[in-house]
A and B are shown apart, each in its own frame.
Chain A
Amino acid sequence: MTTSVYAYIAVMAAVTYAIRLLPFTLIRREIKNKFIRSFLCYMPYVTLSVMTFPAILTATSNSYASAAGFAAALIAAYRRKSLIAVALISSAAVFLAELVLGM
């Protein structure tokens, strides 16, 4: 017997939604505890840093091109460019690097 594609989709969606929903229903008020507040303040920076590096180096078809995109993004972000500007500048750097590298 083969499981239907729709059964797979339904199970995946239900599990993923439950994970996302649970904290929203359990934590209803503002957290006052100083440690937890500090933790939650630092959390996005840690999570995003861990997700970005070293994964960014394998995001495109060539790791040198990815490194160029990473460097371009760091410089643009340091100069306080907007989210969309940094995203496009790093994409452009990858595009140019892949051209130069003859990919």
Chain B
Amino acid sequence: MSRYSSFIAGIRDGIPIFLGYLAVSFTFGIMAKNGGLSAWQAALLSATNVTSAGQFSGLSLMSVCAPLTEVAVAQLVINLRYCLMSCSLSQKISGDTPFFHRFFIAYGVTDEIFGVSMSREGFLSPFYFYGIIGISVLGWVSGTFIGVVSGGLLPMRAVSALSIALYGMFIAIIVPPARKRKELAGIIVVSMLLSLLFTVAPLLREISSGFRIIILTLLISGAAAILFPISDGDEREEL
């Protein structure tokens, strides 16, 4: 694939992310306004961080004038899952890709971009990443800006409906491969049930959502890798 067609493929894959980000960052914009940020400051925050949970928590820490070290630790804890995702994504970049591209691709590692790009087969061109990151960040930043500027003007019912779009997209990524692979379907069901357990059970529910994701990812993916090791041939064919 040429650079241009990789870039276009990335943009196309990013359209559902764009829509979902528009809704979530719109909500973030409204909160940023309540927290005393201007539209430009909120947009700058979104453009430089591109992370929903991290930004929401950063905003609440800012509003109580928390020390910078506390903000740094909170970001580390909440966003540590990106470290796992980057490990996985590093395997999607071919060895002949010039090294400097990694510095730009790393900027755009989010839950959604990770999910969509990992569902693509084989190595990915950096220009694919630039396409999907570009359109996703556009949605994230413009949604934030509009949220601050026009807070109550957009119909909240539409925002509420679009807020589920990103989860719908995740389901569209995980369900189809599970149709032909029974063990994958089992892994998905176990993951969801354990996640539910960690959300409602006493003690376990005290664990923050960031750590819940990390703990369960390490535990379940590790168990799956031991129980159902994948040989190179299967991997090419199925994932």
Which residues of A pack against B, CB within 8 Å? 2-3, 5-13, 15-17, 19-25, 27-31, 34-56, 59-62, 65-66, 69-70, 72-74, 76-78, 80-92, 94-95, 98-99, 103
Contacts and interface: CB of A to CB of B under 8 A. Distances in A.
Given A44-B174, A70-B171, 4 more contacts: A44-B115, A45-B187, A52-B170, A89-B168
For the residues of B in contact with A, the DSSP-based class is helix
A2 B37 contact: no
A40 B72 CA distance: 28
Contacts of A6: 41, 44
Given A24-B105, A43-B217, A84-B16, A35 B229 contact: yes
A8 B14 CA distance: 29
Interface core residue of A5, A23, A87 (most chain B CB under 10 Å): A87
Interface core residue of B45, B163, B164, B212 (most chain A CB under 10 Å): B164
B235 A37 contact: yes
A11 B231 CA distance: 42
Contact of B168 (A12, A54, A91): A91
Interface residues of B, number: 104
Contacts of A21: 86, 102-103, 106
Contact of A45 (B72, B158, B191, B230): B191
A85 B40 CA distance: 33
A102 B81 CA distance: 38
B160 A45 contact: no
B206 interface: no
Contacts of A61: 156, 160
A88 B45 CA distance: 28
Contact of B48 (A13, A29, A48): A13
A74 to B, nearest CB: 6
B230 A41 contact: yes
B208 interface: no
Contact of B68 (A3, A53, A56, A59): A3
A9 B158 CA distance: 29
A51 B187 contact: no
Contacts of A45: 174, 177-178, 184, 187-188, 191
B4 interface: no
B87 A77 contact: no
10 contacts: A11-B75, A15-B79, A37-B232, A45-B184, A46-B216, A54-B199, A55-B209, A56-B164, A73-B172, A86-B169
Contact of B91 (A19, A40, A47, A99): A40
A98 B162 CA distance: 12
A43 B84 contact: yes
A9 B41 contact: yes
A11 B81 CA distance: 18
Nearest to B166: A87
A23 B86 contact: yes
A20 B95 CA distance: 19
